[in-house]
Structure 1
Amino acid sequence: MYQFLEQTVAGHMTRSVRTVTRGLTMRELGPMFERDDFNAYPVEDDGQMVGLVTKFDFLKCFAFTPNQMVPRYDDLMKRTVADIMTSEFIYVRSDTKLTRVLQLMVEHRFRSVPVIDIGHRLEGMIARGDILRALEECARGSG
């Protein structure tokens, strides 16, 4: 298990990541979540990561309180990623230790975390499954 303590994001992240733009509508985003079975998409603008949109962000639009009017479904589906995305998000760098990523995932209940470089360009995503695979590989190696 000591081998796991030295592992970094670079060796375990998914590098080819699907991204979305701010102008994508909820009508277009919903089927993407279904098709790709992703929990989150990085939002890019001009080559830089500017936000993150999750299934939770999408579903939150449909949570109404008794004190508010319920918008029409078609009006909700015309909303864009820019309307619902999280623009202040936690990210890691490729040299971040997996132990730190695991700590962030547990603390914030994240399923995945974007990996960005110094120029705010997306390098990839690191997900729970990536961490589990790294743990298994390290356990086999020290077994």
Structure 2
Amino acid sequence: MYEFVQYTSADVMTRQPVTVTPETPLADAQALFEKRGFNGMPVVNEQGALVGFVTKMDVLRAFTLRPEYMVPPYSEIMRDPVERVMTREPVCVPPDYPLTRVLQRLVEMGVKSMPVTDNGSLVGVIAREDLLDALRRATE
């Protein structure tokens, strides 16, 4: 278990993560969630800078009732861009952040994954599965 306290974000993060743009339709983001088994993805602009993070919960949030309709029109909403529901300025961790602190942040915030950035540039994503795998490896 002592090995776990020496790990950093960079040791377990997914490098070169799959990303979407702010203009990506919600339907395309949802298709990636299903195909890849993701819960969240970084949202990057044309220059590749992180501008947000979108999760499955964000997609669900798009279906909350609005005054303009009684029943949410699925096809219409799924054409909406990711930027409508994404979290802007997501909480990020640096690659040298201790994994023990990442674990604490994920639990306290109640999120399943978060971006890893280095000087403002996206370098990876760290998810709860990464932490569980690191815990298991550290005890073997």
- For residues 32 and 11 of structure 1, what CA distance do their matches in structure 2 show? 25
Per-residue deviation, 1:134 = 1.3
Query: 1:133 is matched with which residue?
Result: 133
Number of residue equivalences: 138
Per-residue deviation, 1:34 = 1.1
Q: Does 1:33 align with 2:33?
A: yes
Compute the TM-score of the two structures, normalised by the length of structure 2: 0.90
Deviations 1:78-137 (A, max 9, x none): 21011111102111000000000000111011111110110x211011111111121122
Compute the TM-score of the two structures, normalised by the length of structure 1: 0.88
Name the % identity: 41
- For residues 72 and 4 of structure 1, what CA distance do their matches in structure 2 show? 47
Runs of 4+ in 1 over 3 A off after TM superposition: none
- For residues 78 and 137 of structure 2, what CA distance do their matches in structure 1 show? 43
Residues 136, 73 of structure 1: alpha-carbon distance in 2 compared, 3 angstrom cutoff: closer
Query: 1:122 is matched with which residue?
Result: 122
Q: CA RMSD in A?
A: 1.6
Query: 2:113 is matched with which residue?
Result: 112
Query: 1:20 is matched with which residue?
Result: 20
- For residues 133 and 14 of structure 1, what CA distance do their matches in structure 2 show? 12
Q: Letter of the aligned partner of 1:56 in structure 2?
A: M
- Structure index of larger Rg: 1
- The runs of 5 or more residues in structure 1 that have no matched partner are none
- For residues 75 and 137 of structure 2, what CA distance do their matches in structure 1 show? 47
- The runs of 5 or more residues in structure 2 that have no matched partner are none
